[in-house]
């Protein structure tokens, strides 16, 4: 297909040009001033901007079921008293519909892929496939007295069944060093080495975690493994350089970290030191929106709180796009021939995109996810002009409603 007439931002560091984009076989084929080929489907996107899609590098998608249940509690009350007891009651159908609602929200906000840590992985994967969205899916792994209740085996089983599928990438999801023993983390790392699966873990989110374990022990367990660490709020200036590793990605979740009172990660220092920082929303029970665009602006503003020269427009854009793609192991994040066709089309005929000369700045500092006109994943539209071409929205909303009623025991 040919996307004609739009302005194009090829990557975080490039300028904005008037270009056409040719898509084929799930990839970006060509950019330039292009004429349609015989039989080619043409989309007129005049008055729009095409840019690389956003990626949500840390979430628990099905937590849309718990959105708004605990807005004003401390982190430990939120987690241990409110969230965990409800999660005990979840089943596959609830997780499917909770995830589907998350994916509709994310697709309508320009997100092409997400990293998930949850349960009922087949249902998460089915939701992502039904929507046509990319997903790196992991099971939340915890152990108690050396027993994990078969969770790791379940995660590995899922990985065996789904590895090699087009949009789904399985991974392993140790929840956190305070819910996993060091021996268990070693077992998980061994499994990751044997299978080549990526790993994601919550690390140094709350201040009290520093008293429970040393991050160096955890990083050394996962040495050489593709690792996404969510939060990384509590690292000191001196410790940050230890996060500079080829295979290590930080997923920065500014809204969740503020809302749960955990603080602000030193992400501009991380970026200066060469740490690869992507963006996440965390689950809808702690954010409460799954809006990477919003996280991008908030991330920039939080770093500017103390020094306005920090976290410029290009760094913010790169975190939200290319770094997220890299964290997910996807050859995306840039509009270049040979890269995957994961794109966002933005309606820029709005007052807050004036003057057009500074469009790139507007994307970070005055635009919003409400301006998303379309989202493409792997060369296919998953959201276009208010519609979701792959899903029956009414059926999903009905299923979601039923799931909420069952989860809260109202039916």
**Residues at the contact surface with Ni ion, assessed by CB under 5 A:** 282
Read off the tokens for 329.
């192991």
Cα–Cα distance for residue pair 247/258, rounded to 1 Å: 27
Pick 205 or 322: Cβ nearer Ni ion: 205
- Cα dihedral across residues 63, 222, 320, 3: positive or negative: negative
What is the spatial order of strands in the sheet that 2-4 belongs to? 27-32, 20-24, 2-4, 42-44
> Smallest distance, Å, CB 283 to Ni ion?
6
> Smallest distance, Å, CB 175 to Ni ion?
9
CA distance to 100, 384, 400, per residue, from 395 (Å): 11, 19, 9
> Smallest distance, Å, CB 186 to Ni ion?
22
The alpha carbon of 134 is separated from its chain's Cα centroid by a whole number of angstroms, namely 10
> Smallest distance, Å, CB 189 to Ni ion?
20
> Smallest distance, Å, CB 287 to Ni ion?
10
Pick 175 or 334: Cβ nearer Ni ion: 175
Q: In this structure, are strands 173-174 and 199-203 parallel, antiparallel, or unpaired? A: unpaired
Phi first, then psi: give them for residue 55, nearest 5 degrees. Answer: -130, 140
Looking at the DSSP assignment, which residues form a beta bridge with residue 8? 17, 50
Pick 202 or 266: Cβ nearer Ni ion: 202
Pick 282 or 371: Cβ nearer Ni ion: 282
Q: Is residue 205 reached through a cis peptide bond, with omega within 30 degrees of 0 on the bond before it?
A: no
Pick 105 or 282: Cβ nearer Ni ion: 282
> Smallest distance, Å, CB 62 to Ni ion?
12
Pick 111 or 343: Cβ nearer Ni ion: 111
The residue whose Cβ lies closest to Ni ion is 282
CA neighbor of 277 nearest in space, from 299, 304, 309? 299
């Amino acid at each position: 297909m040919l996307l004609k007439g739009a302005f194009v931002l090829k990557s975080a560091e490039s300028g904005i040009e008037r270009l056409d984009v040719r898509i084929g076989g799930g990839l970006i084929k060509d950019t330039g001033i292009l004429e349609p080929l015989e039989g080619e489907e043409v989309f007129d996107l005049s008055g729009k901007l095409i840019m690389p899609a956003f990626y949500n590098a840390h979430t628990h998608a099905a937590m849309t079921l718990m959105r708004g249940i605990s807005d004003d509690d401390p982190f430990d009350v939120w987690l241990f008293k409110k969230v965990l007891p409800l999660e005990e009651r979840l089943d596959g159908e609830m997780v499917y519909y909770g995830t589907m609602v998350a994916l509709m929200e994310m697709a309508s906000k320009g997100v092409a892929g997400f990293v998930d840590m949850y349960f009922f992985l087949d249902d998460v994967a089915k939701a992502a496939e039904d929507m046509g969205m990319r997903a790196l899916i992991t099971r939340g792994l915890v152990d108690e007295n050396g027993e994990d209740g078969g969770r790791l085996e379940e995660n590995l089983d899922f990985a065996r069944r789904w590895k090699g599928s087009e949009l789904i990438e399985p991974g392993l999801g140790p929840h956190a060093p305070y819910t996993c023993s060091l021996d268990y983390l070693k077992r998980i790392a061994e499994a990751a080495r044997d299978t080549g699966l990526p790993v994601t873990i919550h690390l140094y989110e709350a201040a009290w975690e520093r008293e429970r374990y040393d991050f160096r022990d955890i990083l050394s367990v996962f040495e050489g493994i593709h690792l996404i660490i969510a939060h990384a709020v509590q690292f000191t200036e001196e410790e940050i350089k230890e996060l500079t590793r080829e295979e290590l990605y930080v997923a920065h979740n500014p809204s969740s970290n503020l809302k749960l009172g955990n603080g602000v990660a030193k992400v501009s220092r991380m970026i200066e030191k060469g740490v690869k920082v992507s963006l996440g929303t965390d689950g809808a029970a702690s954010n409460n929106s799954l809006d990477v665009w919003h996280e991008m602006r908030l991330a920039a503003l939080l770093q500017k709180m103390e020094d306005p020269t920090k976290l410029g427009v290009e760094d913010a854009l790169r975190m939200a796009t290319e770094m997220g793609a890299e964290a997910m192991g996807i050859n995306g994040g840039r509009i270049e021939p040979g890269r995957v066709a994961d794109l966002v089309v933005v309606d820029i005929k709005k007052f807050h995109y004036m003057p057009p000369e500074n469009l790139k700045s507007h994307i970070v500092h005055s635009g919003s996810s409400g301006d998303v006109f379309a989202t493409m994943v792997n060369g296919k539209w998953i959201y276009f002009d208010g519609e979701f071409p792959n899903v029956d929205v009414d059926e999903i909303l009905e299923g979601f409603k039923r799931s909420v009623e069952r989860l809260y025991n109202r039916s």
